[in-house]
Structure 1
Amino acid sequence: MSKVQSWGRLSDFDHNVIHFHTTDHICKELGNYLPGVAYGMGRSYGDAALNPQGNLWSSSGLNHLISFNQLTAELHCEAGVTLQDIHRTLIPQGWMLPVSPGTQMITVGGAIANDVHGKNHHGFGSFGDHVISIKLLRTDGEIIECSHAEKSEWFYATLGGIGLTGIILEARLRMRKVDSSWIQAQTIPYHNLEEFFELSAASEANWEHTVSWLDCKNSASARGLFIRGNLAKIQGKSEPEYKDKTFPFTPPISLINKLSLSAFNFAYFYGNSMKKNPYKIHYEPFFYPLDRLHEWNRMYGNAGFYQYQSVVPSDIGKDATQEMLRVIKKSGEGSFLAVLKTFGSRQSGGLLSFPRPGVTLALDFPNREEKTLKLFNELDHIVQEANGCLYLAKDARMPKKLFETGYPHIQKFLKYRDPGISSSMSRRLLGV
């Protein structure tokens, strides 16, 4: 048995970790380790890929790029390949994933199982919009190859299905052509939500990537930094050196507190407000600003942290966001990483996919036990009243009622559930 944590570090339970290194190995041996759940890079914040005292199927060994066809832009790879593997191999050749989330330290299998999204949802949708086909292993040994056209019901159940329909062995992905690895970007300060929504509406037509950092500790207004960017056409510009660092220790208490957060937010807002615009930035710090600091989650201390990410419909997005920020300020809590963004009009096809038209707010909170959970209960009420939902990839404590109202296709999804797969999240939200 080995201690395994999710990225939020809220628990540290024993798991029976089984490392599979080939598809033949997993097909032959899986039946000896049931029930269980697949585990990739451990970047889910909550309990979607945890199974305390039970089996955990590590897919990190299934990490091979099988083939790439430049004529069709089709990449065939195993599910344990990371997005970083793909990008550092293919971007120098002029190819990039169309959609990527805020970290590239995740596997392709995880990206599909959570139908991840990026800063360009308004133009490119979610990760699943660029998945051509999936090779899925059921725990009874059946292998299902599914796509938008073939066995599509399995495809859309697996897309966003938090790993509960089977183990993703391989996938075929559609890549996009790029001229360089650089982004032409702008950072624009805003001082209230009205300015944010005006910037967002004005930017989506001409800017592919849009996102904003939000200072939710500021008592005067919802100020923040709106960041937008387009892929740049730059020839001959050398690649920067990758100088990764590791957060060196786990403090006994969280380093994120009222004093440190207020000081950081003040410095971050005014420091970036002075940034010269426009500017060119390499894709890695633009898309993945925290990836170069490995194990940054340690800064929250031994108690860990929660991430709370919601989406609410566009027509009520401003009012619901304003109310959530009011409740957060009243609670005295604050988020180190507060990200506010609008999703485009594209509806994801996955039965349990999170991305949908609306406004999404992602927040990190140190685990202060009852105080934090009380705040979440208040936020839950706002989200539910707005007919919104929470992101399963980030969740560690969503009430079952909010899950059921936020994901109306649950009953349809259950027809494709693999009875040999069980996780902490599935038992908490689905009962098994």
Structure 2
Amino acid sequence: MSVDTVSLTGWGRTAPTTAVRFRPRTHEEAAAVVRGRGPRGVIARGLGRSPGDAAQNAGGSVLDLTGLARVGRVDAAAGVVRCDAGVSLERLLRVLLPLGWLPPVVPGTGRVTVGGAIGSDLTGLDHRRSGSFARQVSALELLTADGEVRTVLPGTALFDATAGGLGLTGVILGATLRLRRVTTGLMSVSTERAGDLDDLLARFTAGGDRLPYASAWIDLTARGRATGRGILTRGEHAPADMRPAHAGRTSLAPRSGGARGRFRLPGFPPVPGGLLGPASAALYNEVRYRGAPRARTGELRPVTTFFHAADAFPDANLLYGRGGLVRYRFAVGHGREETLHRVVRRIAARRSPAVRAVLQRLGAADPGGLSFAVPGWSLALDLPAALPGLGRFLDDVDEEVAAAGGRVCLAADSRVRPETAAAMYPGLADFRERRARLDPTEAFRSDLSRRLGL
């Protein structure tokens, strides 16, 4: 097991803190770290893709689980696989797809570990059908504060606290996942442009769930009658008879990203790590919107291109300058679309340089006490952390979202206030009580848990 002292941030590169990082190769080594933890406790960490501070632990210990990355045999009869928590979803996809299987929930990046996906209870593009990632877990192995490894099953209080529990109930060491059968490595994709936010929402709902996977990019720099315009993308797994004869074997290798410190946007030259300004963001968004088809159906794309297009740009976080980025993801319920409209209008009026903004429909709430999803709409956007007045602006948006019964995503958060988080998550008090019973000595701590009093 390797040990070093490092400065860590989330993918947003904000608020770096220093911790002792352990890289165990076995469950026994991980248990030894938990038993020997210091007064600042320990938190698990995967590939560091959480934009905020959920996987940091200032002055304490961090368990880097990427050394625990074994994928077990696929049980074709049961449609399940057992894998270590440090396995990335990208690698899991590479292993499963040639065998005709797919993880039933695939989030927007493959560069997240199975343990991180459970601890954050990630949502995919088909949340209305499949629910969150944790709903597809039939069992998990959890290293608890006493240094013991427990098998935890769905429907138990410990499972519900761990799903979306941000690593605060223990260290997830492995999981058994239910899989989805697929016949090809291709997706049949439909794309259409919407002229404004009302049009975009109408197209979302008019399509129903005929195509299970759906998301939309929103142009948050457009104003006036074009406010909230966007591109809706929907997809389904292509059947074998749609596979073109010349396709051959579908490549699962991700496209290479740019060199560190350089980020290439489609249609733009490299940006040398500087802050993308309002004018260049608006120009990029205009090119992206005009370059999309008004309507197109039946386009075939590889699975990885459809789900993980953003992974082609691994250094996208460098685009936002030295201060890093703030990812703001919030959800509001059905019937609260006016709140979504107001937030989009406020961002557009502020001329914020937003080029990443993803809208999704969410289905039934998930069982985790801190799980993010609520039935309704989710919008995730990235903004440069160095924008003047950004903290105050987002605090005001928080209040508007909370007043509508909505919430921000804690797994992505780096700045919400404790009292606001408590107002957004009615199950927070119950989570704190469960955690106090499971971990009375607060063995598992993070910068996020201290900031929000979790």
Which TM-score band (shorter chain)?
over 0.9
Which residue is 1:78 aligned to?
Answer: 84
Question: Does structure 2 retain, via aligned residues, the 8 Å contact 1:247–1:294?
Answer: no
Alignment pair present for 1:421 and 2:444? yes
Deviation, structure 1 residue 252: 7.8
Aligned to 1:413, the other structure's residue is in SS state helix
Structure 1: how far apart are the matches of 2:258 and 2:390?
27
Change (3 A) 1:326 1:203: same
Which residue is 1:291 aligned to?
Answer: 311
Question: Does structure 2 retain, via aligned residues, the 8 Å contact 1:246–1:296?
Answer: no
Structure 2: how far apart are the matches of 1:331 and 1:129?
38
Question: Does structure 2 retain, via aligned residues, the 8 Å contact 1:122–1:204?
Answer: no
Which residue is 2:360 aligned to?
Answer: 341
Which residue is 2:163 aligned to?
Answer: 159
Structure 1: how far apart are the matches of 2:58 and 2:387?
20
Question: Does structure 2 retain, via aligned residues, the 8 Å contact 1:247–1:299?
Answer: no
Alignment pair present for 1:148 and 2:154? yes
Residue 197 of structure 1 is aligned with which of 201, 218, 226? 201
CA RMSD, Structure 1 to Structure 2 (Å)? 1.7
Question: Does structure 2 retain, via aligned residues, the 8 Å contact 1:247–1:296?
Answer: no
Deviation, structure 1 residue 430: 1.1
Which residue is 2:376 aligned to?
Answer: 358
Residue 306 of structure 1 is aligned with which of 318, 326, 336? 326
Identify which range, 245-254 or 182-191, moves more after superposition.
245-254
Which residue is 1:405 aligned to?
Answer: 423
Change (3 A) 1:422 1:242: closer
Alignment pair present for 1:138 and 2:144? yes
Amino acid corresponding to residue 255 of structure 1 in structure 2: L
Residue 385 of structure 2 is aligned with which of 367, 371, 379? 367
Deviation, structure 1 residue 370: 4.6
Question: Does structure 2 retain, via aligned residues, the 8 Å contact 1:204–1:210?
Answer: no
Runs (4+) off by over 6 Å: 250-253
Alignment pair present for 1:104 and 2:124? no
Residue 268 of structure 1 is aligned with which of 288, 293, 297? 288
Alignment pair present for 1:11 and 2:29? no
Identify which range, 386-395 or 188-197, moves more after superposition.
188-197
* 1:84-95 equivalence runs, <5 A: 84-95=90-101
Change (3 A) 1:340 1:29: closer
TM-score (ref. length: structure 2)? 0.90
Question: Does structure 2 retain, via aligned residues, the 8 Å contact 1:304–1:367?
Answer: yes
Structure 2: how far apart are the matches of 1:253 and 1:71?
49
Amino acid corresponding to residue 187 of structure 1 in structure 2: T
Question: Does structure 1 retain, via aligned residues, the 8 Å contact 2:93–2:102?
Answer: yes
Question: Does structure 2 retain, via aligned residues, the 8 Å contact 1:203–1:228?
Answer: no
Structure 2: how far apart are the matches of 1:349 and 1:324?
28
Structure 1: how far apart are the matches of 2:16 and 2:295?
41
Which residue is 2:63 aligned to?
Answer: 57
Which residue is 2:177 aligned to?
Answer: 173
Aligned to 1:156, the other structure's residue is in SS state helix
Q: Deviations over 1:290-345 (max 9, x none)?
A: 112222211112110100000011111x201110012112222131101112112x
* 1:313-332 equivalence runs, <5 A: 313-316=333-336, 318-332=337-351
Deviation, structure 1 residue 166: 0.3
Change (3 A) 1:261 1:122: same
* 1:372-391 equivalence runs, <5 A: 372-391=390-409
Structure 2: how far apart are the matches of 1:195 and 1:348?
29
Q: Deviations over 1:142-162 (max 9, x none)?
A: 32211125xx11011100001
- Gapped regions of structure 1 (runs ≥ 5): none
Aligned to 2:310, the other structure's residue is in SS state coil
Identity %: 29
Question: Does structure 1 retain, via aligned residues, the 8 Å contact 2:191–2:294?
Answer: no
Amino acid corresponding to residue 56 of structure 2 in structure 1: L
Deviation, structure 1 residue 376: 0.3
Alignment pair present for 1:258 and 2:278? yes
Which residue is 2:28 aligned to?
Answer: 24
Question: Does structure 1 retain, via aligned residues, the 8 Å contact 2:34–2:42?
Answer: no
Structure 2: how far apart are the matches of 1:313 and 1:168?
31
- Gapped regions of structure 2 (runs ≥ 5): 263-270
Deviation, structure 1 residue 180: 0.8
Alignment pair present for 1:33 and 2:33? no
Alignment pair present for 1:206 and 2:201? no
| Corresponding pairs, count | 427
Aligned to 1:2, the other structure's residue is in SS state strand
Amino acid corresponding to residue 389 of structure 1 in structure 2: R
Aligned to 2:174, the other structure's residue is in SS state strand
Aligned to 2:202, the other structure's residue is in SS state helix
Question: Does structure 2 retain, via aligned residues, the 8 Å contact 1:203–1:210?
Answer: no
Structure 1: how far apart are the matches of 2:77 and 2:250?
26
Identify which range, 104-113 or 201-210, moves more after superposition.
201-210
Amino acid corresponding to residue 405 of structure 2 in structure 1: N
Structure 1: how far apart are the matches of 2:80 and 2:184?
19
Deviation, structure 1 residue 24: 1.9
Amino acid corresponding to residue 46 of structure 2 in structure 1: G
Structure 2: how far apart are the matches of 1:199 and 1:280?
21
Identify which range, 8-17 or 388-397, moves more after superposition.
8-17
Identify which range, 30-39 or 116-125, moves more after superposition.
30-39
